[in-house]
Amino acid sequence: MEIWINPACSKCRSALSLLDAEGAEYTVRRYLEDVPGEDEIRAVLERLGLEPWDITRTQEAVATELGIKEWARDAGTRDRWIAALASHPGLIQRPIIMADDGTAVVGRTEEAVRDALSR
C-alpha cells in the first residue's frame, strides 16, 4: 500500500494514525516533494475511477490564479487538468491511498481509510 500525503495536512496525519493503529504496511510518498508526473496522475485516476477535476483542490490560491473553477470538465480538457495537477501538486486532494488490490481511495475519512485497508 502507498499513501500520498502532505505532512501539514490533518486528514493525512489522521489516515497515517489509523493505518499505524491497524498495523498496516505502507509506503509514504510526500507528493509535494516527490511530485508525480502526468502519467502517474493518469494511473492514479484510473485506480480511483475518478477524473482529474474530482481530485482537484479548487479552493487553493493557485487554483484561483489559474481560473480552474471556470475550466470545462470534459474529455477535451482532461489533459489540461492533469498538467495543472502535475505542475501544481498542492492542488491534488489528499491523502490518496493506493490499495494492494490495484484500486485507490481518497482517504479523507476514517471510512475511506478502512475501505482501503479491506482491499
Determine the Cα–Cα distance for residues 57 and 85; give it in Å rounded to an integer. Answer: 10
Considering the candidates 1, 9, 24, 43, report the single residue annotated as catalytic.
9
Q: Calculate the dihedral angle through the C-alpha atoms of 68, 89, 19, 50, rounding to the nearest 10 degrees.
A: 40
Is the distance from CB of 36 to CB of 116 less than 8 angstroms?
no
The DSSP 8-state label assigned to residue 4 in this structure reads: E
Asked if 9 is an active-site residue, the reply is yes
Q: Which residues participate in catalysis according to the annotation?
A: 9
